[in-house]
Amino acid sequence: MSIIDTTTSAVPPVAPPAEAEPGGGGRHELWPAARAVLEANWSGRHTVPSRTLYPHQWSWDAAFIAIGLARLAPDRAWQDLRSLFLAQWPDGRVPHIVFDPGIAERDYFPGPGFWQVPLRRPGHPDGTGIVQPPAHALAVWELYQRAPDAVGLAQLRWFYPRLVAAQDYLLGRRDAGGGGLAAIVHPWESGLDNSPAWDTALAAVPADLTVLAGRQRHDNRVAAVAHRPTDEDYARFVALALAYRDHDYADDALADRHGFVVECPTFNALLGAAERALAAIAGVVGADPARHLARAGHITRAIDDRLWNPRTGMYHARDVRTGRLSPARCVNGLVPLILPDLPADRVAALVAVLGSDRFGMSAAMPVPSYDRTATDFDPVRYWRGPVWININWLLWRGLRAHGCATEADRLRAAMIDLVGRSGYYEYFHPVTGAGVGAAAFSWTAALLLDLLADGD
């Protein structure tokens, strides 16, 4: 199967988002503001996560944004996702950022000059050489289900081989542990960048601040220093990216030579969910769903065999280099709930942890990113405590998939209430609910649209 189809223009020009149909979520007061966020963040080719902090296109953001745009402007949703896949590498990897050539290097660090990715496909946009969680097949299937017409079918046909290539890359070259899961080679690949889930694995990476010399962080100029990763974290992030880059983004012998090789429960849960979505897509485009269903089953079993901790009753990140599970109880260990074939006892255990003091899912507040009772729980620092809407949206879907309707409804109401009180922020203080990070953040707006529309 070849993914070297350089078609870029099969999609008609895209109309701006319209009003929702009467009777849809559009009646809700939050709807127009969400639409305005997505409109303001549309670059003409894709939606940026935030005009100030993230002025390019991000990979898993694009999936969540498309799920929300599907409720407003399906053409734009398809175009947004296609623009990401135009930067797909010939080996199947989908870059974690696709760079907008109109944005100056100084407006995001690390930009294209840092990554120095060889121009892989002439005429196509440049991206990084690392990936993010594979949420795209899920988004493509959601989009098609919202409008299962001829346009949707043409889109499914365009995406199917590309999504398969992305999965083949992750399940092939990234199975560094040999156990049937994909390993990430950088915390940025997790999407939960400085989660405590990476602390033990990262401790082996020297925090050499000299790698930041001559390099200027952009995030700390537009966001509060106390909310962002520390310079020590950034030194490790930069060193790992340089090490991977300097091996020409190769994936051979990762566990022997690379400083960070980790199996993340959320990344792999999305990998499994992607195979399920691909099975559904295969059924429509005339391909074989069986292969995808078999892979989905293997992934669920591998997550359970390799990442389950019976003592904590949840999943944990596994350091492939040492074989050890991270001791931290992080929200990424609860997201496997999205897998419909998760064993019933595991579901019950995860729901119990979600309802416990550690994660305190309640009508008042969605789920934080880290154990509230941990001594290093930090309510404002990036992924070390705050509430994120994309993770809560996944948990909501997971609860529904397992028939936990009461908990799912409560979580949906808590998300809507939180955003209603505080606005479309990147993340939220898990005690006060105050907005933190970038305002006018795209996936918060997009997923709110999906939550609102779902309730009507």
Query: Quick one: 191 or 398, whose CB is closer to ligand 9WN?
Result: 191
Q: What six digits make up the tokens of 185?
A: 């080679």
Query: Quick one: 49 or 360, whose CB is closer to ligand 9WN?
Result: 49
Q: What six digits make up the tokens of 13?
A: 């020009």
CA–CA gap between residue 13 and residue 32 (Å, rounded): 23
Query: Quick one: 135 or 349, whose CB is closer to ligand 9WN?
Result: 135
Nearest distance from C-beta of residue 187 to ligand 9WN, angstroms: 9
Q: What six digits make up the tokens of 14?
A: 């895209």
Nearest distance from C-beta of residue 118 to ligand 9WN, angstroms: 21
> What one-character DSSP code corresponds to residue 314?
E
Query: Quick one: 75 or 80, whose CB is closer to ligand 9WN?
Result: 80
Nearest distance from C-beta of residue 30 to ligand 9WN, angstroms: 20
**Of 100, 68, 73, the residue nearest 84 (C-alpha):** 100
CA–CA gap between residue 267 and residue 287 (Å, rounded): 25
Strands 57-58 and 97-98: antiparallel
Nearest distance from C-beta of residue 22 to ligand 9WN, angstroms: 33
Query: Measured at the alpha carbon of residue 248, what is the angle toward residues 242 and 262, in degrees to the nearest 5?
Result: 65
Nearest distance from C-beta of residue 441 to ligand 9WN, angstroms: 7
Query: Quick one: 78 or 267, whose CB is closer to ligand 9WN?
Result: 267
Residue whose pair of structure tokens reads 């020409």 in the numeric block: 248
Query: Measured at the alpha carbon of residue 19, what is the angle toward residues 15 and 24, in degrees to the nearest 5?
Result: 130
Residue whose pair of structure tokens reads 């908990």 in the numeric block: 407
- DSSP string for 194-233: T-GGGHHHHTTS---GGGGTT---SHHHHS-GGGS--HHH
Inter-axis angle of helices 59-69 and 74-85, to 10 degrees? 160
Closest CB to ligand 9WN: residue number:
49
Query: Quick one: 60 or 89, whose CB is closer to ligand 9WN?
Result: 60
**Can you tell me whether residue 123 is helix, strand or coil?**
coil
Active site residues: 193, 426
Using CB under 6 A as the criterion, which residues of the chain lie in contact with ligand 9WN when the complex forms?
49, 54, 58, 60-61, 96, 188, 191, 193, 219
Nearest distance from C-beta of residue 97 to ligand 9WN, angstroms: 6
CA–CA gap between residue 383 and residue 366 (Å, rounded): 14
